[in-house]
Amino acid sequence: MSLFRNKNFVVMWTGQLATIFGNRFSEIAIPLLVLQLTGSSLSAALVVVCSQLAPLLLSLPAGSYVEARSKKKIAMGADAVSFFTMLSLVVLVMINEVTIWTLAFALFVLGASGVFFRVSFVAMVPGVAGRGKLVEAHTYFEGADALSTLAGPVFAGLVLSAFGAVWALAVDAFTFFISFLGILFLTVSEKRREERREIIHWTGHFSLRGISLLVKNPLQTFVTFHQAVLSFTTTAITLTVIVYTSVVLDFSEWQTGVVLSAAGAGNLIGVFVLNKLSRLSWRVLYGGLMAISAAGIFLIMGSSHLFILSLGMFLFDGALSVAFVINGTARQAITPDSFLARVGGAGLLLGGVAAIGGTLFAGSVSEIIDPRAALGFCGCLLLFASIIAFTFKNGKRSVRELEPINLDE
């Protein structure tokens, strides 16, 4: 049965589509706001980092906290916090009272609510879609990301050019409200761990053990390494491309939006071919995807033409988006149900650290040296990850053949 005949899955997918579409507006609007206020790409990076600090601080406790409670209620609460925070930011921009400090605080709150939403959301996916359809579920979610990334940056650039940052941020706020309504109408049976008293002490050993679970066996370690690479490069490239096109090449907002939207086109193509690709051996699939993504970065680095830049983003994000799907599917496939929230929280911590590193790297290198230097490093990093993947001894099976591996002591 197609997952789109599953009402609960459709509700989750629609909410994701709306939220990601809105996020594409603020992802362009906020760095450009900071660049307008300060003229510094490093300042833009530091403000963006504030949204990534929350995963660093809260991922482990969030994973343990969510594991014993209603994931639906936590996801709804997180969406409500995100909606009102973004709405407050819209008002501040409207009355010309926004500063880099208010932007930084708002992004930190959004990052915190996003942690609890993502941990809850991901933990609900196997129960809604079924373990036998995890590849298809993550493919469809990546399709939502692709559609949003294809349309979002272009519309964001047009809205920014025509109406300003207020309306761009207002779109993001509205999509959080849509996501909240979607989760509200979700009907899902939730399984919770019985050891509630132990989980309540989520700042102690129980939550910290989630870190060790990420490297508990060779398959978890492989997924963990590539998750770090994916998180680092995607944040570094996004900010670097915004700085490169708007500051170095002096592109308009809509031209920057076109380049970023090309990533969505690549993402969409990747979704269409993913079902066939997922039958390849794990190491061949990862290795090839990382190599293609690196080629896209080198195209961006070597050109100032809109078409070539767009083609580079098409290749970069098309391959990287498929790698994200395979990575997320593999993590859930090899993780037992009772550990999903904790491993998911630890994974968010890892992704947060890598994302902060990528953002700070992109901002500092772009300002001190040149955006092309940051692009070159990321391309080389992906080539290194490609070599690691091709030589992975335990990667001979396809991701569809993976099964949960016991993580108990």
- pLDDT at 206 exceeding the cut of 70: no
Q: Which of 385, 366, 362 is nearest to 283 (CA)?
A: 385
pLDDT in tens, 288-328: 999 999 999 999 998 889 999 999 999 998 888 888 888 88
Instruction: Give, as one character, the DSSP assignment of residue 283.
Output: H
The amino acid that residue 328 corresponds to is: G
**Range of lowest pLDDT (95-104, 237-246, 277-286, 311-320):** 277-286
End-to-end CA distance of the chain: 37
pLDDT at 210: 67
pLDDT in tens, 132-160: 777 778 778 877 877 887 788 888 888 88
pLDDT at 89: 92
Per-residue pLDDT band for 347 (boundaries 50, 70, 90) equals: confident
- pLDDT at 364 exceeding the cut of 60: yes
Distance set, CA 56 to CA 305, 318, 348 (Å): 37, 27, 8
**Range of lowest pLDDT (33-37, 159-163, 395-399):** 395-399
- pLDDT at 258 exceeding the cut of 60: yes
- Those residues whose C-beta lies under 8 Å from the C-beta of residue 307, and which sit 6 or more positions away, are none
Please identify which residue in the block is written with the tokens 């933990």. Answer: 123
CB 226 within 8 A of CB 323: yes
CATH 1.25.10.10 holds for 3-400: no
- pLDDT at 200 exceeding the cut of 50: no
Distance set, CA 353 to CA 98, 237, 252 (Å): 27, 16, 32
- pLDDT at 198 exceeding the cut of 60: no
**What does the alpha-carbon distance between residue 256 and residue 195 come to, in Å, rounded to a whole number?**
50
Structure tokens given for 402 = 């993976």
CB 38 within 8 A of CB 98: no
CA 1: distance to chain centroid? 28
CA 81: distance to chain centroid? 19
In the predicted model, what is the mean pLDDT of the chain? 83
User: Regarding predicted confidence, which is higher, 67 or 156?
Assistant: 156
The amino acid that residue 127 corresponds to is: G
**Range of lowest pLDDT (2-6, 240-244, 248-252, 353-357):** 2-6
- Give residue limits of the domains in the chain: 3-400
**Range of lowest pLDDT (7-11, 270-274, 302-306):** 270-274
Instruction: Give, as one character, the DSSP assignment of residue 186.
Output: -
pLDDT at 191: 59
Considering only CA atoms, give the Rg of the chain.
20
- pLDDT at 349 exceeding the cut of 90: no
